[in-house]
Amino acid sequence: MRDFIITTESNSDLPKEYIQENQIGVIPHYYTVEEEIYGDGKEMTIREFYDAMRAQKKVGTMASNPAVIEGMFGQYAKAEKDVLHISFSSALSGGCSNVQMVGRQIMESHPEMEIIVVDTLSASLGEALLIMKAVELKKAGKSLHETAEIISGLVQNVCVRFTVDDLGHLYRGGRLSKTSAMLGTMINIKPILYINPEGKLVALSKVRGRKKSITTLVDHMEERLGDFKEKQIVIGIVHGDCEEDALFLKEQVEERLGYHDFMIQPIGPSIGAHSGPGALRLIFFGNQR
């Protein structure tokens, strides 16, 4: 049985220590600040990036570079390794299709190699939960195909609920009309959003006030846990440079649902460029999205 490498993109928001420890291959997604490109060796700190957004500097994102993917997969081919790529949602970025395209090309030139791409239809730690499960399965001796099949079967069980603090970023990202953003800001409306079964970002409801928006995330989690109540790998919380709110969310989950194993990470720039400072996401396994 050939060995295989698990790969993903930089916007999975996994801790660097976990990536290094488990030898995860990471394909960069890029971001721009005032037209300057970052993301492949050249980085801003999380605080620098979100401070740039607070200062209303122009930010943007770019998907993965096929040439970079080809270089990485080519190295694995030379090392006689197969690849399981666990991808950012195809509904939110062209990165997944880039990997699929390059994967087909590499397999044509290296017919002994197999590259399987799993579209998580998710983002950030939504991808990460599936990567962590794949690592667990690989360590247990599962093959490339066995691991891919199990991970594919869990895609619709990854639940992502989130809220934002500033509606202006949703407006600038094309997710909200200017009028709705202005009116919502005036009356302190906070949207509750989720990633739907098709991998798209969709509004679920609206609440008034930041604290209420955070406790509503936990309400949604409680409703969705179902058969997965005792099957969590870790509870994921990611934040747009608002660690205090992330810790408050953690406390709410601990008190109400009894979980104590958390992964709390900042939202990286390639996703944070669209959600802005103050965004807060809760990620877990549940019966349905």
Instruction: State the pLDDT at residue 191.
Output: 85
The length of the chain, given as a count of residues: 289
Q: Return the pLDDT at 269.
A: 95
Average pLDDT in the chain? 93
Mean pLDDT of 236-263: 98
Q: Write out pLDDT tens, residues 86-98.
A: 999 999 999 999 9
Name 135's Cβ contacts closer than 8 Å, sequence gap at least 6: 6, 22, 24
pLDDT at 84: 98
Per-residue CA distances from 152 to 40, 64, 123, 157, 274 (Å): 29, 22, 15, 10, 27
**Given 3.30.365.10, 3.40.50.10170, 3.40.50.300, 3.40.710.10, which CATH number is that of 4-155?**
3.40.50.10170
pLDDT at 204 over 80: yes
Instruction: Supply 42's token pair.
Output: 């050249």
Average the pLDDT over each of 74-78, 137-141, 149-153, 176-180 and give the range with the smallest value.
Answer: 176-180
CA-wise closest residue to 208 among 220, 221, 191, 222: 191
Task: Give the residue among 36, 64, 40 at the shortest CA–CA distance from 49.
Answer: 36
Does residue 22 register a pLDDT over 80?
A: yes
Judge whether 202 and 170 are in contact, CB under 8 Å.
Answer: no
Could you read off the pLDDT of 117-157 as tens digits, one per residue? 999 999 999 999 999 999 999 999 999 999 999 999 999 99
Fold of 157-285: Hypothetical Protein Tm841; Chain: A;domain 3 (3.30.1180)
Read off the pLDDT of each residue in 236-265 and give the average, rounded to a whole number. Answer: 98
What residues does each domain of the chain span? 4-155, 157-285
